Amino acid sequence: MTKKNIYQKLHAACLSAKSVVKGQKKNGMHFNPLLHDDVQTTATQALLDNDLYVTCNYLTEIVPNIKKVMVVCTMKVYDVEDPTQHILIDGCSSFGDISMFGTGQAMSYSRKYAFLNLLNLKTGIKDEDGYEAKPFEEDSTEQSEEEPTYLDETIDVEEMKRALKATNSLAEFNEVKDLIRKDVDFLMRNNLRAYRQVTDIAETREYQLTNGQQS
């Protein structure tokens, strides 16, 4: 029997990994959270079943202007049968408060997204996390028609975007902006991609309303 290489094993792990079921709403959450333990359990089982083992290293940096700690997770996937072979997943980052628990929380976030990226894990909820979005075409610089929404545990990013787009006056826009301010601050600390989506729409809508445009 031909021995599988590390990429064939990872491919098999991706195929065998099941979707991650979101947890129950609690503490006034807008929607169901994607729990770190659920993601890690699903991912780890699929990897171990295919003789793959994961380690994580973290870089931390204090960001003074927002008084947060940034954590970047670098994940290495090793072939248990040939430990000289590994695959690197890097660039998964998150922000946390400068506190006793902030760094640990940011580490959990960054590790969770590294697992999701590694195995292309789905949550079973269409469109919410961008997994159903139209992929980029080969050799094309054009993005899909609808930019994917990125994972978040407590914030309904799509609802925030809809609320901003639906405003018909600057007064209404400012009212919505005040209502979502805390959620936007949360995204800035924990989910920069979703934060940029919301702020891009806010800036565009504010410009339109300032210049008398309704759409």
Report, as ranges of residue numbers, the positions in the chain whose pLDDT lies below 70. Answer: 21-34, 123-154, 189-190, 213-215
Cβ distance 122 to 47 under 8 Å? no
Closest-CA residue to 127 (of 150, 109, 110, 145):
150
* Domain shared by 59 and 23, yes or no: yes
* Domain shared by 47 and 110, yes or no: yes
**Tokens representing 199?**
């702020």
Please state the pTM of the whole predicted model. Answer: 0.55
**Does 29 map to a domain?**
yes
* Domain shared by 45 and 109, yes or no: yes
What is the per-residue pLDDT for 203? 85
**Does 116 map to a domain?**
yes
Compute the distance between CA of residue 43 and CA of residue 36 in angstroms, rounded to an integer.
Answer: 11
Q: Considering the chain, what is the average pLDDT of its residues?
A: 77
| Overall number of domains in the chain | 2
* Domain shared by 103 and 160, yes or no: no
What is the per-residue pLDDT for 215? 58
* Domain shared by 68 and 111, yes or no: yes
What is the per-residue pLDDT for 123? 57
Q: What are phi and psi of 129, to 5 degrees?
A: -110, 10
CATH of the domain at 105: 3.30.390
Query: Which structural domain range is residue 117 located in?
Result: 1-125
**Tell me, what DSSP letter sits at residue 196?**
H
pLDDT digits (tens, 9 = 90+) for 148-199: 444 445 578 888 888 999 999 999 999 998 888 888 877 776 677 777 788 8
